[in-house]
Amino acid sequence: MPEPDGRQRCGWAGTAPEYVAYHDDEWGCPLRGIPAMFERLSLEAFQSGLSWLVILRKRPAFRAAFAGFDPVTVAGFGAADVERLLADAAIVRNRAKIEATVNNARRVLELDRPLDELLWSFAPEPAAHRRPATLAEVPATSVESVAMARELKRRGLRFVGPTTCYALMQAAGLVDDHVAGCWRASSR
């Protein structure tokens, strides 16, 4: 059913303005660049167990707290930075996730290829990916997200399970899971 603006969207987009903007302007759009992909990887990890709306509303604070998700800067964070972040009520204050983000930045700097290139190497061929007809058909994982998670863990990254990796793949446009009938489904 079309929204008040006349556009039909994926059911998860709901009516929260943050969700609508994220759905319309970002989700499923091909994303490149190391800081941008590191941000998405980090925010998907922070989202684990929480609503994505919480993360969207806190995203400006996350960007400020994590230096725009510049891996070089975040890799330099030490114990005092972790304590500072744990005291920052504007972000999700979870020690394991904060420490994982710092660890992941360090691991990103050790990669033998750029992070975005590594992540995009797991994108399925677009022709092999079937557009879901309904939200019920949208998977939580895929063969590719399982392989991505395995490789990232092998390289020492944390909070990168298959579900988190699949959410990253959706968010960064590695897969296009806009459901049939969504106005964005025909935009790619």
Report the catalytic residues: 22, 44, 52
Q: What are the CA-CA distances from residue 130 to residues 29, 125, 177, 178 (Å)?
A: 17, 10, 8, 11
**CA 9, 15, 20 angle in degrees (round to 5)?**
55
**CA 76, 150, 138 angle in degrees (round to 5)?**
105
Identify which of 47, 48, 68 has the alpha carbon closest to the alpha carbon of residue 56: 47
DSSP secondary structure letters along 126-137:
GGGSPPPSSGGG
